Amino acid sequence: MNLAMELTLVKGFDLIAEYFTDVRSDILMARASVPNTLGLQATPYSNLGKASGRGVDISLDYSKNFDNTLWITARGNFTYAKSNFEVFEEPNYTERYLSRVGQPLSQQWGYIAERLFVDEEDVRNSPQQTFGEYLAGDIKYRDVNRDGIISSLDMVPIGYPTDPEIIYGFGFSTGFKGFDFSAFLQGSARSSFWINTGATAPFVGYTYNSSDASSLSGVPVNQLLKAYADNHWSEENRNLYALWPRLSSTYNANNGQQSTWFMRNGAFLRLKSVEFGYTIPKKLVQRVKMQNLRFYTSGTNLATLTGFKLWDVEQAGRGLDYPVQRVINFGLQVGF
């Protein structure tokens, strides 16, 4: 269903607002309730799933010519969309927080990280963590179900979905006599991502997945980040909330679990483009046999407002892709 309205609020302002819903059923899903005693070699699939979505989309435009020398146009848009599983093939969980029913489609589950272990005494007196060896300076997780063991039964929904629920942008163009100026900003909100601990772990040889056609399979691509060097747990710096836990020469599976420790907010606002120009009066350029002559300077990706500072926030967890480039241009437009 899609409901929309288009209004002229006052002179110069135009509003378009839409509300939409979507329901999908018979989604193909792996059966989770088939016992192993049946002896099946492959997991059977059935059309069991059901999901719903809803949202709003709003666009506001403004345009006005004040006189022959001053004009302005502006536009803003805002989209909020949310989706949920209505039916999901899964066991009948005793712990309801494990269920995906009622959760967004891209919601992530993970462990609640409390802090780093203080010392070996703290390790011995804490619930057992089942992710391999862990020592003082490694991440300590919360025993959610209080069974004395940190396992997959302690994973809860954490953060926002990985797909942004809010997308927005706004910009304007204006001119006065021969001068013109325009700018556009874009942003998103209500999304989370996780730092890829394997791809960014110091001293560990990480390689791209060979199934990725654009990968550099077999070539170590780890970044050695100054942020980790400046803020990690060590015997000399027992910071229980350091950015990076205890250093290791091999990948630490305990610290690499998806958890709130490496969860980050994906919200940002980016100054996407700016342009400033000046057009020489026509009566002057016609003297040199031209129709128009305009000087301008423009820039893209000039600034980003975000709480994440390690690399470009739109690269999400890996930070290994080619970064978004800041570009500044100077130009001349000539017409004959």
| Sequential DSSP letters for 56-93 | EEEEEEEEEE-SSSEEEEEEEEEEEEEEEEEE------
pLDDT per residue, tens digit, the chain (336 aa), is 999 999 998 888 999 999 999 999 999 998 876 666 666 677 788 999 999 999 999 999 999 988 888 999 999 999 999 999 999 988 888 888 999 999 999 999 999 999 999 999 999 999 999 999 999 999 999 999 999 999 999 999 999 999 999 999 999 999 999 999 999 999 999 999 999 888 888 887 666 554 554 444 445 566 678 899 999 999 999 999 999 999 988 889 999 999 999 999 999 999 999 999 999 988 888 887 788 889 999 999 999 999 999 999 999 887 777 888 999 999 998 888
Residue 328, pLDDT score: 96
Residue 220, pLDDT score: 55
Residue 221, pLDDT score: 61
Residue 216, pLDDT score: 43
**Residues facing 83 on adjacent strands:** 53
Residue 204, pLDDT score: 77
Backbone angles phi, psi at 60, to 5 degrees: -125, 125
Rg, Å, the chain Cα set: 27
Using alpha carbons only, give the angle 30, 36, 41 rounded to the nearest 5 degrees: 65
Contact 144, 97 (CB under 8 A): yes
CA distance 43 to 236: 51
Model pTM score: 0.86
CA distance 67 to 177: 10
Contact 180, 281 (CB under 8 A): no
* Element of type H or E holding 282: helix 282-285
Residue 34, pLDDT score: 67
CA distance 192 to 199: 18
Q: In the sheet where 179-189 sits, what is the strand order?
A: 2-8, 13-30, 45-65, 70-87, 166-176, 179-189, 268-279, 292-305, 327-335
Contact 113, 261 (CB under 8 A): yes
CA distance 331 to 146: 66
Residue 208, pLDDT score: 55
